[in-house]
């Protein structure tokens, strides 16, 4: 997990008035990716996180995805993190969470490698749910900069499923929204993705009043 991306989403949602529950496939504290790049916008939030015992407890004592009731949630934020490439495509609880939120019209944000959670999603006809949807994720160049092998590329994987993949410059913020799905290209896109998610939740709440 990218701690910077987590902190951005965590505090954006809290400051936006949302209740936050931290979850992961295995629960507990997720392994943390080494810092990558100089993201000054995230540094202040990391200082806030390090001085916030409640946030650190939430992070270290995350619920397992299998323990949550999807009906209790109005949105999901998947932060960046290289482990997502291997953990999320095969996780049935993540797949169930997104599928149920999608059917209910609830928004989901996927930052960086968190977009790996989209790969296994299928519609009733068995077709990939990402087909013909606008999405972004790390580029082949960003993968190479992190030493990731070409076979794990989300750019390639999403495109092969029929997604309309679009990327911005490597390492720069780039966010794409297609209906209730919000994707950010990399950790630098965490803030834009989180803000779009909060706006989508607020718009849904207003429509239900």
Residues 149-204: pLDDT tens digits?
867 899 999 999 999 999 999 999 999 999 999 999 999 999 999 999 999 999 87
For the ranges 23-37, 125-139, 174-188, the lowest mean pLDDT is seen at 23-37
The stretch 114-139 carries a mean pLDDT of 96
- For residue range 52-96, what is the model confidence (pLDDT) as tens digits? 999 999 999 999 999 999 999 999 999 999 999 999 999 999 999
pLDDT tens per residue across span 4-25: 999 999 999 999 999 999 999 9
Specify the pLDDT at position 87.
93
Domain ranges of the chain: 3-208
pTM: 0.93
Which of 45, 42, 127, 142 lies closest to 85 in space, CA to CA?
142
Does residue 209 register a pLDDT over 50? no
Give the CATH class of 3-208: alpha beta
């Amino acid at each position: 997990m990218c701690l910077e991306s987590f902190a951005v989403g965590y505090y954006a949602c809290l400051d936006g008035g949302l209740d936050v529950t931290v979850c992961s496939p295995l629960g507990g504290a997720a392994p943390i990716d080494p810092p990558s790049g100089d993201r000054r916008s995230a540094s202040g939030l990391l200082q806030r996180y390090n001085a916030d015992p409640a946030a650190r407890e939430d992070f270290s004592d995350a619920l397992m995805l299998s323990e949550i009731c999807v009906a209790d949630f109005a949105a999901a934020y998947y932060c960046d993190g290289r482990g997502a490439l291997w953990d999320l495509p095969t996780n049935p609880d993540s797949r169930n969470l997104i599928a149920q939120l999608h059917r209910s019209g609830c928004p989901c944000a996927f930052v960086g490698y968190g977009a790996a959670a989209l790969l296994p999603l299928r519609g009733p006809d068995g077709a990939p749910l990402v087909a013909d949807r606008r999405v972004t994720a790390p580029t082949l160049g960003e993968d190479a900069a992190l030493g990731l092998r070409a076979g794990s590329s989300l750019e390639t994987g999403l495109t092969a499923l029929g997604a309309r993949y679009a990327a911005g410059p490597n390492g720069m913020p780039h966010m794409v929204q297609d209906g209730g799905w919000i994707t950010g290209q990399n950790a630098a896109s965490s803030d834009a993705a989180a803000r779009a998610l909060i706006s989508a939740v607020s718009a849904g709440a207003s429509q239900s009043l």
